Structure 1
Amino acid sequence: MKLPKLLFISLAILSLNSGAKAQGREIESVVEYASPGVRGMGKPQGVVIKYERLPDFGIKSESDDPSLGNGEGRIRRHNKFSVRALAPLVNKPQTKVILGFDYELEEFNFAGLNESSYDLYRYLEDKNLKSIGLQLAYLHSLNVRNFYLIRVKGELNGDYTRDNIKISDYLKATVDLAYGWKKTPDFAIGVGLQWGYTFGRQRIYPGILYNRTFNPKWGVESIFPANVRLRYNANEKTLFYTGYRLEGASYDIFADETNLRRFGEIELRRTDIKGLLRMEREIYDFLWFGVEGGYRRYYRHRIFDEVGSTDELITNDLAGAGYVEVQLFLVPPRKWTERSSNR
């Protein structure tokens, strides 16, 4: 889920001390190895707890299968909760290896459901669609100008519970490759490919990294077309952002309690775009919080007759809606970064 965003965060934490320094014993010169980070970026987020809510929006569903038919309803709220942890296994000036774990769930609460309501809505009501992921990212600086990234991630995405989970039914893999150039301490660019689920179905998607700080107050952070953010540094403890973000997900589900059960394992894929405003603020040294709000518009939200299929069972049209998101996250303490900078 939200794979471009995860790649962006991986790049951020891998670029801890964005100009990684190495100094020989017998020379005074300091080598600043290339990385995707630039001056002015927010601190890498090691552990993040996040909650998001989208209140009250409509949904319409259509199917060419007469046994499923069409439906219409209202979603009272759409909740999302996630926990993510990223930790460095190797943190050398030229080479960084990051291990990451994340757990996410989302659920829908519908208004006025009863036994005659549309089958898909009755099935999704209070159903926890989950994602458990493990990733390994490798960043290597070739010299002071060039770097590359390799990231591999596996996720279990679907409606499973502790009692019925079967890894082969829910496992999805993602691979990211990127190569970049550090032009100056304030400017880094790169190109990359992702084999993943940004637009629901697993495909290869290109991306362009563009991180630039124009002056002490303003900068841009982006992996286009997945996300673009304009950054304003109010001070070292407060940052503001505005921009957009694409998010995608794919869930394998078994809707046994409905007419969908005759299809066995089916797949729900979604892609949406969010226009956002965001603030990040330090609470105490290593502890920060973030508040984000904006408008979400679904690009696609569909049910397919089997995993990886192109045959749509149900096409859902979800109305646009505002959303709010709150985060609490841990960053490296100042003494760690100061110690690393003085090496």
Structure 2
Amino acid sequence: MKKINLKIIVVGFLFLINYELQAQTDNTTDASNEYCIPALKGIPIGKGVSFEYQTMPNISIETHDKTGLFGDSKNTIKNNSHIEAKLKIPIINKPYLNILGGLKYTFEEYHFKNLSENSNPFYRSLEDKALKSIGANVTIIKPTKSKKFWILRASTDFNGDYSSHASGNLTDYLKFSIAPALGWKVNDNFSYALGLSYNYRFGNPLILPIIAINKNFNKKWGIEALLPLFIKSRYIHNKSLNWLNKIEIDGASYKLNNLKPELTQYSNIHLHRSAIQFSSRIEKKLVGWLWAASEIGFQKNLTYNVTNSNRSKKDIIFENTLKSGLLFNVSLFISPRK
């Protein structure tokens, strides 16, 4: 059923683009020969290359054993760290078509306090193990000779603690997301779009209706939102300093392979996590196109389940509750301003 839904999204999106192109060809009364420019006035383009490090210290975790084999347990994650590197490459940059490709690598580690041989096998399996995500993505933007534009974003990632000798089917680690939308450029300071999104932000793969909004209130203040996934305010102090505040749903699903012997009886263990983050970020230009950023925030856990399936609510082994905690992020990135 999931594959059918994805095919419907993709085929429907391509059909609508073809319909719009045909309509433009047939419409000889349109006096405009210029294509819509989706970007708003004064908004810098995205990051070409970025490197980020994020840490969350001292997170209390309570684990409820749903199998009755291991018992409930508590511990403290003394540090949860993330490293992320991204690369974006323009493939086609024409007035009538923009295609942008990207590569991503993330590396996540957990370190617990006071682990022993009798500690929960999930804690011991996760300790000092790298949860990795390697992926590629593409963004296709098709402006029209009106105020409308089409946009399609798709990505595929391999998520898990895999290694060169990992067992199991490679597709167990594969996670796919896609988001087609139709947008309207109302003027140089306001645009919006309507579409669908298939993603893992809530830990589970879900198809959600989305509303995108991008609005400049004046030369300094603006807002950007992709509801219900995130909403962000921006303050552009000058060409060298930005202040961003964001509320975002963050989540992922990892296939776990390198497990302690007590868990090897399960053949398809996944860790599903989702949380809501509140953060404030300062971006400062260092020199040329090189920028640095510092971010502080607060994260509230929504889901953190270990299951014997690729669903966060099916065949639960451990149901975890994580206390809310602070997050700290520093990053370097290259961003052409024009």
User: Please, what TM-score do these two structures have when normalized by structure 2?
Assistant: 0.86
Following TM superposition, the consecutive aligned residue runs of length 4 or more in structure 1 with deviations greater than 4 angstroms are none
Describe the superposition over 1:222-263 as per-residue Cα deviations: whole angstroms up to 9, x where unpaired. Answer: 111111111111111101011311111000112532422101
- Cα deviations across residues 43-94 of structure 1 (Å, max 9, x unaligned)? 3101110000001110000022111221100111000001011101000112
Structure 2 Cα separation of the partners of residues 40 and 225 of structure 1: 26
CA distance in 2, matches of 1:215, 1:31: 26
Gaps of 5+ in 2: 1-31
Aligned counterpart, 1:195: 198
**Alignment partner, residue 181 of structure 1:** 184
Aligned residue for 2:122, secondary structure, equals helix
- Rounded to whole Å, the distance in 1 between the matches of 2:183 and 2:170 is 35
Name 1:24's counterpart in structure 2.
none
Which of 251, 256, 280 aligns to 1:253? It is: 256
Q: Write the distance in 1 (CA, Å) between the matches of 2:293 and 2:91.
A: 26
Which letter does structure 2 place at the counterpart of 1:310? Answer: K
1:178 CA displacement: 1.1
Q: Give the 3-state SS of the residue equivalent to 1:204 in structure 2.
A: strand
Match of 1:53 among 40, 43, 55: 55
Separation in structure 1 between the aligned mates of residue 35 and residue 148 of structure 2, nearest angstrom: 11
Aligned match of 2:160: 158
CA contact under 8 A between 1:52 and 1:81: conserved in structure 2? yes
Contact 1:34 / 1:146 at 8 angstroms: preserved in 2? no
Partner residue of 1:39?
A: 41
Q: Is the 1:179–1:191 Cα contact (8 Å) retained in structure 2? A: yes
For residues 199 and 244 of structure 2, the distance between their equivalents in structure 1, rounded to whole angstroms, comes to 26
Contact kept? 1:238, 1:279, Cα under 8 Å: yes
For the 8 Å contact 1:179–1:190, the answer to whether it is kept is yes
Task: Tell me whether 1:262 sits opposite 2:262 in the alignment.
Answer: no
The CA deviation at 1:42 is: 3.5
Specify every segment of 5 or more residues in structure 1 that has no aligned partner in the other structure, as ranges.
1-28, 338-343
What amino acid maps onto 1:324 in structure 2? Answer: F
1:277 paired with 2:280, answer yes
User: In structure 2, what is the Cα distance between the partners aligned to 1:137 and 1:76?
Assistant: 37
1:230 to 2:255 alignment = no
Which residue in 2 is equivalent to 1:92? 94
User: Which residue of structure 1 aligns with residue 217 of structure 2?
Assistant: 214
Equivalent residues in 2 for 1:1-343, closer than 5 Å = 31=34, 33-35=36-38, 37-164=39-166, 167-308=170-311, 310-332=314-336, 337=338
* Same amino acid, percent of matched pairs: 29
Over the aligned positions, Cα root-mean-square deviation in angstroms equals 1.6
Q: Secondary structure at the match of 1:262?
A: coil
On the 8 A contact 1:269/1:302 being kept in 2, the answer is yes
Residue 30 of structure 1, CA deviation? 8.7
Query: What per-residue deviation string (whole Å, max 9, x for no partner) do you get for residues 92-140 of structure 1?
Result: 1121011110000111100111111111111110110110001122110
Contact 1:34 1:143 in 2 (8 A): no
1:258 & 1:90 partners in 2: Cα distance?
Answer: 50
Matched letter for residue 326 of structure 1: V
Contact 2:166 2:257 in 1 (8 A): no
